[in-house]
């Protein structure tokens, strides 16, 4: 890739797509992480709901635990049970247990989401590179990456929250993807994920962003549960998630990553006309 300083806006095509993992390409409904957080707190005698566990999904896992501990319901319950608020020592212990259980959960929830493999192949056929970022840490990804590879999904770059000083919404994982993939400018990249943190990460990196509704954490349902859900309820939930993603300034919102190709074509048209990702930092 040759590069010279230019005052002209980038007008080439999309060069890379950076995909989230759980809820976007694997683990329909992002079931594994939510169940682990519920179980870890339950072991300490603190009840949290699956909805509370999902509240901060997408961020680095220790930060996720810190945010859960700061919830009024959790801090009050912890105070009543242990006579003090959970401090860093307690957070560290909760995280150690989370990391241990998360590896087991990943093995159980490593199935690829429908449409991912053919979509990724179609992107490669368009000479688009495939990157990835995640709130998981290296030990967790050491489990998940081989599982996904055996099932047919192997991105060109894999970066996780333990590879950077701060996880989402900071843009560092996206920057590492750009470096590893040899892509410039950031406007030539698209971030795809199923959480607000994913969207914020992409915007902060100067990328186009795509939010995923139906298969992700915000929906929070397995494929089987989603298929038996009342169609009206399903549509209403998707509309609610879409509204939240749009409020977070997502450029596009899709039901699943398998629907990505028309969006890439639309972004290519916008780039060709000199458009940059609107609202990026």
Catalytic residues: 20, 61
> 191 φ, ψ to 5°?
-100, 130
3-state SS string for the chain: CCCCCCCCCCCCCCCEEEECCECCCECCCCHHHHHHHHHHHHHCCCCCCHHHHHCCECECHHHHHHHHHHCHHHHHHHHHHHCCCCCHHHHHHHHHHHHHHHHHHHHHCCCECCCHHHHHHHHHHCCCEEEEEECCCHHHHHHHHHHHHHCCCCCCCCEEHHHCCCCCCCCHHHHHHHHHHCCCCHHHEEEEECCHHHHHHHHHCCCEEEEECCCCCCCCCCHHHHHHCCHHHHHHHHHHHHHHHHHCCCCEEECCHHHCHHHHHHHHHHHHCCCCCCCCC
189-193: strand order across its sheet: 159-160, 129-134, 16-19, 189-193, 208-212, 252-254
All residues at 6 or more sequence positions from 169 whose CB lies less than 8 Å from its CB, including other chains:
59, 197, 200, 201, 204
């Amino acid at each position: 890739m040759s590069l010279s300083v230019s005052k002209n806006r980038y007008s080439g095509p999309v060069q890379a797509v950076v995909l989230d993992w759980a809820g976007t390409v694997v683990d329909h409904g992002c079931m594994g992480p939510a169940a682990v957080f519920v179980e870890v707190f339950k072991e300490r005698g603190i009840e949290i709901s699956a909805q509370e566990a999902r509240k901060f999904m997408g961020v680095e896992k220790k930060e996720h635990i810190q945010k859960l501990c700061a919830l009024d319901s959790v801090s009050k319950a912890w105070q009543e049970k242990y006579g003090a608020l959970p401090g860093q020592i307690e957070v560290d212990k909760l995280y150690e247990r989370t990391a241990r259980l998360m590896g087991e959960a990943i093995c159980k929830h490593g199935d690829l989401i429908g449409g991912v493999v053919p979509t990724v192949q179609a992107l490669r056929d368009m000479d688009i590179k495939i990157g990835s970022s995640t709130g998981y840490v290296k030990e967790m990804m050491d489990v998940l990456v081989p599982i996904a590879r055996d099932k047919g999904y192997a991105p060109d770059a894999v970066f996780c929250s333990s590879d950077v000083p701060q996880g989402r919404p900071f843009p560092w994982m996206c920057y590492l993807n750009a470096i590893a993939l040899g892509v410039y400018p950031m406007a030539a990249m698209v971030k795809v994920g199923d959480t607000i943190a994913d969207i914020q990460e992409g915007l902060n990196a100067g990328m186009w962003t795509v939010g995923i509704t139906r298969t992700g954490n915000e929906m929070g349902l397995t494929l089987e549960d989603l298929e038996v859900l009342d169609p009206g309820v399903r549509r209403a939930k998707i509309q609610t998630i879409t509204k939240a993603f749009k409020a977070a300034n997502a450029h596009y919102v899709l039901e699943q990553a398998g629907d990505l190709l028309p969006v890439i074509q639309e972004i290519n048209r916008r780039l060709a006309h000199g458009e940059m990702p609107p609202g990026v930092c």
